[in-house]
Amino acid sequence: MARRGWESYDFLLITGDAYVDHPSFGTAIIGRVLEAAGYRVAVLAQPDWHDKEPFAALGRPRLGVLIGAGNIDSMVAHYTAARKRRHDDAYSPGRKAGLRPDRATVVYSNRVREAFGDIPIVIGGMEASLRRFAHYDYWEDKVRRSILFDAQADLLVYGMGETATLEIAARLASGTAVREITDVRGTCLAVRDPGICAYPLVEVPSFEAVSTSKSDYARANMVEYQEHDAVSGRAILQRHGRDILLVNPPAFPLGTAELDRIAELPYVREPHPVYDQMGGVPAIEEVRFSVTHNRGCFGACNFCSLAFHQGRTISARSHDSVIREVTALTRHPGFKGYIHDVGGPSAAFRRPSCQKQLKAGMCRNRACLAPEPCPNLDADHTDYMMLLRKLREIPKVKKVFIRSGIRFDFLMKDPSGEFFTDLVQHHVSGQLKVAPEHCVAHTLDHMGKPHIEVYERFREKYFKLNRRYGKEQYLVPYLISSHPGCTLEDAVELAVWLNKQGHMPEQVQDFYPTPGTLATCMWYTGIDPRTMERVFVPKTPHDKALQRALMQWRKPQNRKLVLEALHKTGREDLIGYGKNCLVKPGRGQPASKDGQPAQGKKDSPSAGKRRRPGGPGKPGGSRRVERNDRQTTKNGGPVRKAGWARPKKKK
């Protein structure tokens, strides 16, 4: 401040992450946007929250305090899906855990109140955005109030907050009292009189109702989801005792010109140098040489928070802006010729899903891609393909990869197929990650994903193109276990499908109930909010362990659980020595009819033995992947077919 000649500053910006001045980090974007608008901004990253002194160290800001927990919810950052404490934090220097508190937004806000009294406090970021309504909290296993009330904040900014933050800043700078800022899109506030709302209204069941009635919770959650649309969305009221939560309609997505301007602000694109001797900030490694070219996701998977945060409407940067950013990256001293990603929430989305949504908003009771693609879907990938071709021609750029996710169902609807060819030839960095998530139709319906036949057609075409162009590239399917709607019988079917594919995932992702999503509503209520029908939910640790074990049936430590699951579901036909069996029988137990006998099979010494693990993986282990319809070991050799074993060495 002294070097800049500042005697005071306008906004204190507090974050639970280490400070990384890169456009992939929300704190950096908000700080740079305010700076570009002429405001003086001080950033307080990962302050000691045990008393108020660190929050008051720079003195009282002139206009207000802006608070966020960081790029992800602080509880997700701290705990696994099994509610176990994580041992590291990629958003902290040296991966050190514990540098932010649980429920960081609430804790920071309360400390600011202690330090500065009645100063305007605005909370935002992912944690505040997804907790803006009364919400189920997985870690406490109860419904909590809107985070606005627990944080004692004046305003909450949800979604991508540049527009709302600038509007709030301008009004505060003009002398408007924070209690009079009631009509900014993309904000929430507490009121006593709903008559002050400037927009059409809809009321959802109160906090008291949703915390005692699961059907009320499901109805409220569905309305909250449907109204999250800038074109058609209404303001929402939810009563919390004597107070009323007023959630104004979402802010309109930024246009291309504004998105370009924000992406090209003078970011240093590195963590603050204060962290250098602490081991740096690992989160920068994934994005240092990556480019975000779009926002929004009309894929809208039910377990994903993107639709409830960024929204389903797509906005994208211009080709020229992306080219300028990549050209600047080639001058970075650490650049080696590889652009790691040109993506966003879903890489290939660069236009609205259809023209109708621009005038009428997103369909309230229809998803764009699942279970079947909408007939109005515009799946032309030409614009994205042309952008990637231009980037490949930039001097010093050797390869341009796509790593942030390809929607294979969207890709399969492209009428030309030309982009698919380009993808295989130029943009796969050894392996392509896609997310079929499951194989059973009704489970996929509860996930909001396409049926497995779409993935199988995609897989077949992917390997066909790899063979045509002489590529040896892998396919890594992501899968979720214990998702609402997935029974133990469904988990067995997934294991059977994986076995037929010759694929056993090295790591399994248990469903994680994060605030605000439709799938979390199903997990808590046992009700699908779209239909109000009952949904089976595998909730107990043992139920989850059974489903997870089935996805990794070859691991010796899972054998007991797999046997239990197969007996419970009456699938003893999968216990034996045949190629379709998952586990061998125990001593003295019969094998399945199509399996091989337990003894007397000298000509096949390895019948029933596990296949050697195949595919490349992380150091110290192997990741099973698919490669041109055959498996490979880590060093590139073929995996022997079932029934083959390495000959025993003679003594």
| Domains present along the chain, CATH in parentheses | 11-247 (3.40.50.2300), 287-429 (3.30.750.210), 432-595+618-643 (3.30.750.200)
Residue-wise pLDDT for 385-422, tens only, equals: 999 999 999 999 999 999 888 999 999 999 899 999 99
- What DSSP element (H or E) covers 295? strand 294-295
pLDDT at 358: 81
Determine the pLDDT at residue 645.
41
Cβ(546)–Cβ(564) under 8 Å? yes
Distance CA 536, CA 482 (A): 10
Query: What pLDDT is attached to residue 23?
Result: 95
The region that residue 121 occupies, defined by phi over 0 for left and psi between -120 and 50 for alpha, beta otherwise, is beta
Q: What is the pLDDT of residue 359?
A: 85
pLDDT-derived band of residue 626, with 50, 70 and 90 as boundaries?
Answer: low
Mean pLDDT of 125-152: 97
Secondary structure of residue 137 in the 3-state scheme: strand
Res 502: pLDDT: 87
Question: What is the pLDDT at residue 365?
Answer: 82
Residue 361, CA distances (Å) to 1, 204, 230, 374 in order: 45, 21, 7, 15
Across residues 309-320, what is the average pLDDT?
Answer: 94
Under a CB-based contact definition with an 8 Å cutoff, are residues 400 and 374 in contact? no
pLDDT digits (tens, 9 = 90+) for 532-579: 999 999 999 999 999 999 999 999 999 999 999 999 999 999 999 988
Alpha carbon 86 to chain centroid, angstroms: 18
CB 444 within 8 A of CB 371: yes
| Cα torsion through 23, 25, 27, 28, rounded to 10 | -30
Which tokens hold the place of 463? 């390997």
With a cut of 50, say whether residue 39 has pLDDT above it.
yes
Give 331-382 pLDDT, tens digit per residue.
999 999 999 999 998 899 998 899 888 888 888 888 899 999 999 999 999 9
pTM above 0.85, yes or no: yes
Q: What is the pLDDT of residue 140?
A: 96
Structure tokens at 340: 């790691």
Query: Any idea what DSSP says for residue 85?
Result: B
Q: For helices 319-329 and 256-263, give the axis angle rounded to 10 degrees.
A: 10
Here the tokens at position 637 are 């050799």
Question: What's the pLDDT tens digit per position in 260-289?
Answer: 999 999 999 999 999 999 999 999 999 999
What does the pLDDT read at residue 235?
Answer: 98
What H or E segment, with its residue span, contains residue 433?
A: strand 431-437
Q: Which of 51, 45, 49 is nearest to 68 (CA)?
A: 45
3-state secondary structure of 116: helix
Instruction: With beta carbons less than 8 A apart as the criterion, state whether 305 and 517 touch.
Output: yes
pLDDT at position 307 is 87
Each residue's pLDDT tens digit, 420-464: 999 999 999 989 999 999 999 999 999 999 999 999 999 999 999
Rounded to an integer, the average pLDDT of 122-126 is 97
pLDDT of residue 119: 97
Q: What is the pLDDT of residues 288-307, one digit of tens each?
A: 999 999 999 998 899 999 88
pLDDT higher than 90, residue 507: no
Q: DSSP 3-state assignment of 510?
A: strand
The token pair at 355 is 């023209």
What percent of the chain is predicted at pLDDT more than 90?
Answer: 82
DSSP state of 187: E
Q: Is the dihedral of CA 210, 212, 216, 222 positive or negative?
A: positive
Question: What's the CA gap between 611 and 608, in Å, rounded?
Answer: 9
- Per-chain mean pLDDT for the chain: 90
pLDDT (average), residues 493-505: 92
Percent of the chain residues past pLDDT 70, beyond the cut: 90
* pLDDT tier, 506 (very low <50, low <70, confident <90, very high otherwise): confident
Chain centre distance of CA 10: 33
Provide the pLDDT confidence category of residue 508 given band limits of 50, 70 and 90.
Answer: confident
> Residue 592's pLDDT is what?
65
Q: Are 369 and 436 in contact (CB under 8 A)?
A: no
Residue 509 DSSP SS3: strand
Averaged pLDDT, 627-642: 42
Q: Is omega for the bond preceding 371 within 30 degrees of 0, making it cis?
A: yes
85-112 pLDDT tens trace: 999 999 999 999 999 999 999 999 999 9
| Residue 594's pLDDT band (cuts 50, 70, 90) | low
Residue 591's pLDDT is: 67
Q: What is the per-residue pLDDT for 356?
A: 86
| Residue 543 zone, left/alpha/beta (φ > 0; ψ -120 to 50; rest) | alpha
- Position 23, amino acid: P
- 156-188 burial code (b ≥16 CB/10 A, e <16): bbbbbbbbbbbbbbebbbeeeebeebeebbbbb
Whether 342 and 388 have beta carbons less than 8 Å apart is answered as yes
Residue 646 scores a pLDDT above 70: no
Query: What string of H, E and C letters represents the secondary structure of 194-236?
Result: HHHCCCCEEECCCHHHHCCCHHHHHHHHHHHHHCCCCCCCCEE
pLDDT recorded at residue 467: 96
CA pair distance 187, 199, nearest whole angstrom:
13
Q: Given pLDDT bands bounded at 50, 70 and 90, which one contains residue 503?
A: confident
Q: For residues 592 and 175, which has the higher predicted lDDT (pLDDT)?
A: 175
In this structure, what DSSP letter does residue 103 have?
T
